[in-house]
Structure 1
Amino acid sequence: MTDVGKGKWHWRKMAHWALGVSCAAALAASGCSAGNGGSSQPQAGTGNPSAQATAKETAKETAAEAGKPLQIQIFGGLYNEMPDMNNAFWAEWQKRLNVKLDANWVPSGDVITKLDLVLASGDLPEVIAYPNQGLTVSMINAVRNGAFWDLTPFLGDLSQYPNLKNNTPPNWQKFLSVDGKIYALPRSRSLIDNSVNIRKDWLDKLGIPVPATIDEYRNALKAIANGDPDGNGKKDTMGIVGINEGVSPFEAAFGAFAPHYDSEGGLVWHELTGEYTSLVEWLRGLYSDGSLPKEFMTMKRTQMEEAIGTGKAATYIRSTRYHYDFEVQAKKVQPEAKIIGLPPLKGPGGYAADLSTGVNGGIFISKKVPEAKVKQMLKYFDATASQEMTDFGYSGVEGVHYKVVGGEKVPTELSIKEVNTTSLGAGVFAYVKWGKVDNPGAPKEANEQKRKEVADYEKLGVYNIFTWLISNTWVNTWPKYSSEWNAMMTKAIVGQISMDEYKTYVAKLNNLPEFKTAYKEFAKAYSYYK
């Protein structure tokens, strides 16, 4: 069980899981019909008495289990405070779907590290809600080593799973496939996710117009970091806090997400392109300006959240829906705080707007789960992709998490605490255009304003194709060099090595035979995608 107070995890060792929850009993509230198929109940043989007896016995067991909650162990990311799984939101969620969740919520900044440890141990939970668009090397290897169910034969043409078929992002199967097989269900999210934000009240105080280009943004951060926008008489404000979660929009601005081929026709890894090197040089400029804190590469998510929430930083790039939360926190110490989403900043190679694929990670089912229970889980996850459960996931319970006033949902104070990003971690959900923009705890006018601020992101944004392209050689090669590359990039940013030294290092990597082989594999994979 999850120890809510301490966030500790203890796997339940259970002798028997309830395997006979019928679709009608388990998911009636979500519109799943008993005739949708996928039941674990075998059919009686037509001419074999022993088979008929076995089928009858199984039917009795299924009938005895019918109506009991489907119990699921799930490993997912914690993006807010640790939830009480018996609170109003989660109690209603589990009641509607007739499910009992044994959830291990891991702080988002540590979730990949913890996941690697879980994968290495082999002691997997039943479900892993993987949080990123691209699979890590350890996840790809775990898939190939048989750690998770191949869902392709279960899903078929999706006719048994109407919500997965009709409500989810297009092409999600491609983004969650390894070697042509589907190993996960989508965590449906909006295309517009991250956006570059800034303290508008600080811009106003320093007489700086809202930036429209990458260079204007850099100049604004320099003025903020070297001025005294908070009026405390000290030069202690940060420009952009950390970069380990906020580089992708700037990659798009420098053109690093566009396909780049080497002289042999190989598709070069985005972080080793000349465009990304130009981004590193730009970040070097931010550091020399004083706009990046000295500890920028080691700051954890909690530290970055604290910096923006206590009025110490101008920018912290996260999902757009967090802008409101950051502003609410900052207003406690600086009542005039105002955080806006910047328009897509024009850069030398595009705009600072990267798009999600609409599939923000996937839901993987451990191969340790019995096949009959896999089918039940798929029915559960299909139900979570219904419009009804999606509306609930984003809004909560009427009268508890929101009130309807003048035909509009007005969130209550409890909504901010219980209806949030973490509460989206146990389901698939239907695609919602503004799902990562609207904040369920914000008033209507605040969400409408935020939509206006980022409306052009979808039109001008680009995708990182490497979130779904897979090269076998790259999977085996990049882990040997990634830490070294990260260290060299950091040295270049902080001025410990020259940019020429960094460029020479990148060129050396790109000329390694295994890198060239990987790039050819990426090119081939991309040609299939196109």
Structure 2
Amino acid sequence: MFQHEPWFRKNIKATTAVCLIAALLTACGGDKIDGGTAAKADKAGAKEKPAEISILTEFNTTEAPSADNPVLKEFEKRTNTKLSITWVSPNNYGEKQNTVLASGEIPDLMKVSDLINPLMRQMVDQGAFWDLTPYLKEYPHLMEYPKEVWEKTRINGKNFIIPSVRPLEGGNSLPSIRKDWLDKLNLKMPETLDELYGALKAFTLNDPDGDGKPNTLGYTMNEYNFVQNVLNGSNGKWKVQDGKLINTELEPGTHDALIWLNRLYKEKLIPEDFAAMKGSQTEDMAKAGKAGLHTDTVEGIWRSTAELVKTNPKADFLPFTSLKGPFGNVAFQTSGYSGLFLIPKKVPEDKVKKILALMDYGASEEGFLLACYGFEGVHYTVQDGFKVTTEQATKDSVAQSSFGKIFERYDKYLWAYRTGMPKDVLERNKKIVDERLKISIADPSIGLVSETNQKLGADYTKKIIDLKVKVIMGKEPIEAWDNFVKQLKSDANYIKIIEEYNKAYQDRAKASSK
């Protein structure tokens, strides 16, 4: 028998008449659903029939969990539910979600990948989904999600959405650098872009791996928006200045970023074909010790380090805590979520509460542990305080990439640890997360919608990216970018996009202040 301490025992509110019976989720007296309960007993004290809940979500494990998966069955047992989950590969999830939305045959709980999905937003405006705002306060573990995440995911000032919560810090907005290469070449940890350029040049020219061959580069160049962000003091295309949104593509920092990146290209500190390389190819460079700088999440970079230490025990990719630019030391916050869940209006109110109670249990420590790791001794063991997954976990598709895609607990250090990571690296990563939290810049445009951008934004984005790549590779001079910026500043549709984003920003601020 699997042993667990039911989370529900710890969460009985004194102000309610609800009596909870361990993992059975039954109520003894009264019929109000409160703070994480999902079922009630009838007047005779019999257990209520399990709530049947259909779910559409994605998975990233090799195989989707089966209908008789032991973790699924345990979730059903603990929450008195019968779950019918449709698992969809992320490779075609966007297409699948739009097909389901358009059909009107929406499951009881559906994950949508993009907060500004036009069809989803239209359906929200038409009243197709439940406004969860009046109910959420009754679910304490969902309320442990950061306040700013709930605020960012509001539509028209209301919470129609349960965010698929992620850490605010530890994302891939800053790169990681080979600390062992810095040490070998007697270089300090770079603090500015100028110092970073110097390190990348040394990594390319000064044989940091000691094999006597000119076979290393400075940077894999898998992501380079951080340069523009450092120089603009922004997190993405928008920043707040004097109470208004400023489009950073038009700012001098973007011009300066292209010059800096072009210098790397001219001096052959980055791959000549970087624009055509896939993410897996750049990561392979990092894993093979062919580049000294690579961008990944704080925990994700351990994949590269783990491969390197097999042949070089001193290998160490160290994530940057910050970089200093014209606006001081900066780091960049994530959105705090990855996708979002909605409940269609066709679902009865009592079932809405049961779905929220299910999600609240998944956001508890006990529920999240079950979702991501399964059963101790079966799906994982504990070694030196760390959970180590077993082959059975792989066979049963038990992971954060399966059930953890539905049931999520907010943990600010979630992106600090990866299986197999030594404890000293974990503790170092926690400190990096804590330091970033002190100075990180949020993206103020998250959740904002411009109708003109919905129609024309993709075309503008393509033109912007294409020209940036040409300037970085020297196929176009920096003057071509400056002329393009002048055109955008006089482009009626681009101006309209800026105006609409500003209106949406002001409207959200007013709604949040109510």
What's the TM-score bracket when you normalise by the shorter of the two chains?
0.7 to 0.9
Matches within 5 A, 1:131-530: 135-136=115-116, 139-145=117-123, 151-164=129-142, 166-194=143-171, 195-244=174-223, 247-248=225-226, 251-257=229-235, 259=239, 267-365=245-343, 376-393=354-371, 396-400=374-378, 403=381, 409-414=385-390, 421-423=400-402, 425-530=404-509
- C-alpha contact 1:395 1:440 (8 A) present in aligned 2: no
- C-alpha contact 2:167 2:414 (8 A) present in aligned 1: yes
- C-alpha contact 2:160 2:342 (8 A) present in aligned 1: yes
Percent identity over paired residues: 26
Q: Give the whole-Å Cα distance in 2 for the aligned partners of 1:311 and 1:27.
A: 55
SS at match of 1:276: helix
Quote the offset at 1:366 in angstroms: 6.3
Q: Determine the structure 2 residue equivalent to 1:4.
A: none
Q: Which amino acid aligns with 1:153?
A: D
Q: Which amino acid aligns with 2:164?
A: R
Q: Give the whole-Å Cα distance in 1 for the aligned partners of 2:110 and 2:313.
A: 40
Q: Which amino acid aligns with 1:66?
A: K
Deviates further, 491-500 or 196-205 = 196-205
TM-score (norm 1): 0.75
- C-alpha contact 1:148 1:367 (8 A) present in aligned 2: no
Quote the offset at 1:404 in angstroms: 5.2
CA RMSD of aligned residues (A): 4.1
SS at match of 1:346: strand
Aligned residues between the structures: 471
Quote the offset at 1:307 in angstroms: 2.6
SS at match of 1:153: coil
SS at match of 1:455: helix
- C-alpha contact 1:147 1:367 (8 A) present in aligned 2: no
> Closer, same or farther in 2 for the Cα pair 1:513/1:431, shift >3 Å?
same
Q: Give the whole-Å Cα distance in 2 for the aligned partners of 1:226 and 1:30.
A: 65
Quote the offset at 1:441 in angstroms: 4.0
Quote the offset at 1:143 in angstroms: 2.3
- C-alpha contact 1:269 1:519 (8 A) present in aligned 2: yes
Q: Which amino acid aligns with 2:49?
A: A
Question: 1:403-441 CA distances to partner (integer Å, 9 max, x unpaired)?
Answer: 557xx6222253996776524642353322212223354
Q: Give the whole-Å Cα distance in 1 for the aligned partners of 2:151 and 2:323.
A: 30
Q: Give the whole-Å Cα distance in 2 for the aligned partners of 1:521 and 1:260.
A: 15
- C-alpha contact 1:253 1:350 (8 A) present in aligned 2: no
Question: 1:116-157 CA distances to partner (integer Å, 9 max, x unpaired)?
Answer: 57526846874554557xx45xx1344215699755534424
Q: Which amino acid aligns with 1:173?
A: W
User: What stretches of structure 1 of length at least 5 have no aligned partner?
Assistant: 1-23, 42-55, 57-62
Question: 1:67-103 CA distances to partner (integer Å, 9 max, x unpaired)?
Answer: 4764423135x3x655655777667556655554645
- C-alpha contact 1:311 1:334 (8 A) present in aligned 2: no
Matches within 5 A, 1:21-60: 29=23, 35-36=32-33
Q: Determine the structure 2 residue equivalent to 1:75.
A: 58
Q: Give the whole-Å Cα distance in 1 for the aligned partners of 2:274 and 2:106.
A: 33
Quote the offset at 1:186 in angstroms: 1.2
Q: Give the whole-Å Cα distance in 1 for the aligned partners of 2:286 and 2:71.
A: 28
- C-alpha contact 2:445 2:505 (8 A) present in aligned 1: no
Q: Give the whole-Å Cα distance in 2 for the aligned partners of 1:147 and 1:27.
A: 40
Q: Give the whole-Å Cα distance in 2 for the aligned partners of 1:501 and 1:514.
A: 20
Q: Give the whole-Å Cα distance in 1 for the aligned partners of 2:129 and 2:138.
A: 13
SS at match of 2:301: helix
Quote the offset at 1:451 in angstroms: 1.6
